[in-house]
């Protein structure tokens, strides 16, 4: 099937934007948003994104290269979103055969679609899953808690079905200590509720619960001040706290 021409996509996008603004009112002062230099390029990037909305191509070449190499029996895949993608795994775990398969912005449903190419087909001994923050933020639209839980359950069960040990990580707290308040999009009570389910699910299955949350949270249920530049993503100090927690969980799974 041929791709739609760019002008057709732009027309569709413009119509969508106009429907969103249909109820807008006249303003006293004309203050349009700043226009960047390259709207055509941005539109093309957006059109390209929707050719692979689950980003199966993101690690396709890297996966092919990895599969051509000898399999390390202690291989571990880190599956997640931007918090995982931004983690310099090689620096935190020097010399370890650990593979980063985080994709910025992804929700659990997208990670579920990536489970075969980015986890199972790589034949790791362990997968460590950090997922759910972007579901709470409704990155791809509204979801119920049950939908998120079932996605995580499906990822875990698929991995276990293929002989991969599963580590389920707690979602990190967020904060309002920076210029980008995070709690409006990531309500702390929803983070706590999902973490409670993840812990309980891990307990009743053969998965292991990895508790980053308790080590990173302060008395206000916020991500501790100084561990993030934007209140959402850990900085080097945040990852330095997470690394030994992850390693302890991995060691426990590999020892079994």
How far apart CA 19 and CA 144 sit, in angstroms, is 26
What pLDDT score does 57 carry? 79
User: What does the block give as tokens for 3?
Assistant: 């791709």
What pLDDT score does 189 carry? 97
139 within 8 A of 166, measured Cβ to Cβ: no
How far apart CA 90 and CA 98 sit, in angstroms, is 8
Query: Hey, which residues does 101 pair with through a beta bridge?
Result: 79
Has domain 73-255 been given CATH number 3.40.50.1110? Answer: yes
How far apart CA 88 and CA 171 sit, in angstroms, is 18
How far apart CA 198 and CA 209 sit, in angstroms, is 7
How far apart CA 74 and CA 54 sit, in angstroms, is 28
What pLDDT score does 22 carry? 45
Measure the CA dihedral 242/201/71/240, to 10°: 0
What pLDDT score does 40 carry? 64
Domain boundaries, the chain: 73-255
What pLDDT score does 56 carry? 81
Q: What are phi and psi of 125, to 5 degrees?
A: -75, -35
Torsion region of 250: left, alpha or beta (phi above 0 gives left; psi -120 to 50 gives alpha): alpha
| Cβ within 8 Å of residue 218, ≥6 positions away | 173, 224, 225
- Which burial class, exposed, middle or buried, applies to 94 when counting CB atoms under 10 A from its CB (0-12, 13-18, 19+)? exposed
What pLDDT score does 53 carry? 78
pTM given for the model: 0.82
- Which burial class, exposed, middle or buried, applies to 179 when counting CB atoms under 10 A from its CB (0-12, 13-18, 19+)? exposed
10-residue stretch averages of pLDDT, the chain, 256 residues long: 48 50 56 64 62 80 95 97 97 98 96 97 98 95 94 98 98 97 97 98 96 98 98 98 98 94
């Amino acid at each position: 099937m041929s791709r739609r021409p760019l002008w057709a996509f732009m027309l569709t996008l413009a119509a969508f934007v106009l429907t969103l603004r249909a109820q807008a009112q006249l303003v006293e002062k004309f203050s349009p948003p700043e226009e960047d230099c390259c709207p055509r390029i941005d539109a093309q990037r957006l059109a390209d994104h929707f050719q692979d909305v689950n980003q199966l191509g993101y690690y396709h070449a890297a996966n092919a290269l990895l599969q051509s190499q000898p399999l390390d029996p202690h291989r571990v895949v880190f599956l997640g979103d931007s918090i995982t993608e931004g983690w310099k795994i090689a620096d935190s775990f020097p010399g370890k055969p650990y593979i980063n398969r985080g994709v910025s912005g992804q929700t659990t449903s997208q990670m579920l679609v990536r489970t075969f190419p980015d986890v199972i087909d790589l034949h790791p001994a362990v997968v460590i899953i950090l997922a759910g923050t972007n579901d709470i933020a409704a990155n791809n639209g509204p979801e119920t808690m049950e939908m998120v839980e079932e996605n995580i359950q499906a990822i875990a069960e698929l991995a276990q079905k293929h002989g991969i040990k599963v580590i389920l990580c707690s979602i990190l707290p967020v904060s309002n200590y920076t210029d980008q308040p995070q709690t409006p999009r990531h309500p702390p009570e929803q983070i706590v509720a999902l973490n409670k389910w993840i812990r309980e699910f891990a307990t009743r299955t053969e998965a292991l619960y990895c508790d980053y949350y308790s080590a990173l949270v302060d008395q206000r249920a916020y991500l501790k001040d100084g561990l993030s530049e934007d209140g959402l993503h850990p900085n080097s100090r945040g990852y330095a706290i997470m690394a030994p927690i992850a390693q302890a969980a991995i060691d426990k799974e590999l020892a079994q």
